[in-house]
Structure 1
Amino acid sequence: MLMNSNKEGGADCPNCGISFSPADKFCANCGQKASLPGLSLISIIKEYIDIVFNFEYRVWISFFHLFIPGKLSTQFFDGKRQKYLSPLRVFLIFGLIHFALFGNWVNKKFDKQLTSLEKNIQENAFKEQFFSKIDSLPNDIFEEEGLDTNQTMAVKAKLFKEITTDSSNIPRQNNDIIATDSLPNTYQILVIENINGKWEVKSLPLTFSDIYNLDDENIIKKANIKTKFGKWQVKQEIKLQKEIKNFTLFVTGQLIWMVIFSMLFISFFQKILYFRLPFFYAHHLIYNLHFHAFSFLTMSLFMMGNNNEIILKNFNFFILVILLYQLFAIKNIFKQGWLKTVFKVLLNDFFYLVISSSILLITVILSMLLF
């Protein structure tokens, strides 16, 4: 099927309407072919095969050249871009694979511990209620029967000995009251409030029974929290304690944003570090996209094989591979001497550690606020 002819003897592209000469094989504006095959099953299959194999070629050559330190970046800088996937796409592909595997790894690795933390509140809440009721029971019985209440401690000790199979979980006291604050892992929440123009930090002790059995409004009322900001903090802290497992997975899902912001800052630092060389901020950003893609790929391989004892014991080897890759990539891209390259890599990594740690802290705080 040919393009629509126009009055000047040329043709109009049916896709975008731009005119071009009959000698042109493609539309200069949108790239569509000047001569299109008729619609048929065979033509559709041919087009599909062409698209798939062309895309697969770009994927495979991008994948193989990613293993050569600095290769993808230098090719992109030299304008050889058509046969490769874009740097951002390479980063996103391996980044999504990495964090999907990382989330699954965290879930498997810490599932029991996180579930245990959530159950800890429920179990301690039950203990508090149980001890409170048992503590008052002998007194009530002795008073009702007109007996000497001074003997209740001996009765309580015998009672606890009979009903527990784990004496380490029973708080032994020398007084007539079983104190719930002697239970392990008693809980306090911190609340920051602005009252009459002054910021105050309150430490609110709560029993596990309060956290597990009372709703947010009753806890807020009991703690005498008055400001909206303070009430919101209480709700968030209680939610975090009750759903620590879901919160951990939520934070894991936000880590890719931490990496992206870290790259933006480290690229700016590298621009300053190599200010004498003819590289723009975009050059450093493109390099970091490729470097992080390789790092994601390397750590993904580790996580896929971490059930293997040999791989698990050689975690440092994977880190060493990433560091050596970085060293050779920077050497190949910026073409400075080894002494300068090593010094700048060390300086770059130190600054990156500071940046990523700071952004990780901010990420965790924001996750706590938004969870």
Structure 2
Amino acid sequence: MLMPTDRTTYCPNCYYPMPQTGPYCGHCGQKYTTGRVRIWTLIGDFLESIFNVDSNILRTTLALFVPGKLTRDYFEGKHKRYVSPLRLFFATAVVLFAVLGLYLFTNLESQMTRATNKSRYQAYLSSFRNQLDSARAQAAALFPEGEAQLPGLDSLSALIEDPRKDSFNLVYFKRVRTGLVESVPVAVSMEDLMEMPLDSLPPHYGIRGFWHQLQVRQLAKLNREGGDFTRFALSKLIWMAVLMMPAIALMLKLLYIRRRYFYVEHLVFTLHYHAFAFFCLSAVLLVANTGWGYTLGEFLFPISILGTAFYLYKAMRRFYRQRRFKTLLKFGLLNFAYLCIFTAFALLMAVVATLAY
């Protein structure tokens, strides 16, 4: 389609002069239109946008399953045909954590809710036993000395368990003179744990210091509202995964420091690998929780772990182009560093989530 040459035509979207040899604006890319849109044009635009998006996602998915290909193509300048590394990483991470929240954390939330309800029941029962003992003492005072036989109350006391002797250990950490950190258990009655105001609980048990009181207060809150904490912690997991990526990329930078790769290349490699791992883990979890596929999911889970490990080795071989022995050695070092990084970030996330809850 050629544009008319007798007069200058402007793009109705950005008012840039339209080219004389085509219908698309060279500034914003919109197709020229007079503003009148036919139904077939609307349907055609819809189908074109759908197929363009689908083909882009399909190409990215197919390339993702070839270890290292997506990263190599990205740094060869093939950006437009694939989904960007950050968008791909966030999309697969959101899917994974949605699946985790739907299945794994729902069960964990139910277990913590049951534990919280049990503790609350024991606290209420302790309060009831206190009232029962008080009523027994008042009733006994009405009888002459030696005739205070209250078989009814005694039988009731025997039938109802007495949880007041039970306690719950709240453990907080403090620094000792040697510079180390030690754990300090605090035995708290179930009634105080569930009923006492959170600000009054630490001083009541002789705990001094802002950080010590904060730890005990948050642990008590966690035991009171355990079910809600799982949802709060899940919302922090994705940020833990995001913060881990630069640390893992830094480890790759150190492993390949003599190869003169830029840090961003290691970061993109890390994002692509985790996008593949998140995709596989989401698929296995979905299969395992379909009812008929639970046994199959148990079988696929260890296979997926081994598969993602083999994928990482092949991706390192394809992208960094080193010999098998060197790649295998760096693969082992990277996995050891990954375990350390994951453990450190998981502990940090657990501490931050507990203190911020």
Aligned residues: 347
Provide the residue aligned with 2:77 in structure 1.
Answer: 79
Q: Superposed, which structure 2 residues align to 1:202-217 within 5 Å?
A: 205-216=187-198
Provide the residue aligned with 2:178 in structure 1.
Answer: none
Between the aligned residues of both structures, percent identity stands at: 27
Tell me, yes or no, if structure 1 residue 276 matches structure 2 residue 273. Answer: no
CA apart distance, 1:229: 6.6
**SS of equivalent residue, structure 2 residue 67:** coil
Provide the residue aligned with 1:160 in structure 2.
Answer: 157
In structure 1, distance between residues paired with 2:162 and 2:68: 63
Q: CA RMSD in A?
A: 3.6
**SS of equivalent residue, structure 1 residue 85:** coil
Tell me, yes or no, if structure 1 residue 353 matches structure 2 residue 300. Answer: no
Provide the residue aligned with 1:176 in structure 2.
Answer: none
In structure 2, distance between residues paired with 1:4 and 1:120: 80
Q: Which segment is superposed worse, 20-29 or 124-133?
A: 20-29
CA apart distance, 1:143: 3.2
Provide the residue aligned with 1:335 in structure 2.
Answer: 321
Tell me, yes or no, if structure 1 residue 285 matches structure 2 residue 271. Answer: no
Indicate how the Cα distance of structure 1 residues 309 and 12 shifts in structure 2: closer, same or farther if over 3 A, else same: same
Provide the residue aligned with 1:264 in structure 2.
Answer: 246
Tell me, yes or no, if structure 1 residue 368 matches structure 2 residue 354. Answer: yes
Provide the residue aligned with 2:280 in structure 1.
Answer: 298
Match of 2:28 among 20, 27, 30: 30
Match of 2:125 among 127, 135, 143: 127
Structure 2 unmatched runs, 5+: 176-182
Match of 1:59 among 57, 60, 70: 57
Structure 1 unmatched runs, 5+: 172-179, 194-200
1:4-49 CA-partner distances (Å, limit 9, x unpaired): 999xx8665444455575346644443334x346431332222222
In structure 1, distance between residues paired with 2:174 and 2:347: 19
Tell me, yes or no, if structure 1 residue 39 matches structure 2 residue 21. Answer: no
CA apart distance, 1:56: 0.8
**SS of equivalent residue, structure 1 residue 294:** helix
In structure 2, distance between residues paired with 1:366 and 1:343: 35
**SS of equivalent residue, structure 1 residue 81:** coil
CA apart distance, 1:282: 1.1
What is the TM-score normalised by the length of structure 1? 0.80
Q: Which AA in structure 2 matches 1:285?
A: L
CA apart distance, 1:370: 2.4
In structure 1, distance between residues paired with 2:233 and 2:210: 25
1:232-268 CA-partner distances (Å, limit 9, x unpaired): 6565333222111111121122111111111111111
1:39-86 CA-partner distances (Å, limit 9, x unpaired): 313322222221111111101111122111111111111111212111
Provide the residue aligned with 1:248 in structure 2.
Answer: 230
Q: Which AA in structure 2 matches 1:110?
A: L
In structure 2, distance between residues paired with 1:268 and 1:17: 47
CA apart distance, 1:280: 1.0
1:317-342 CA-partner distances (Å, limit 9, x unpaired): 11111101111111111111111111
Indicate how the Cα distance of structure 1 residues 5 and 132 shifts in structure 2: closer, same or farther if over 3 A, else same: farther
What is the TM-score normalised by the length of structure 2? 0.83
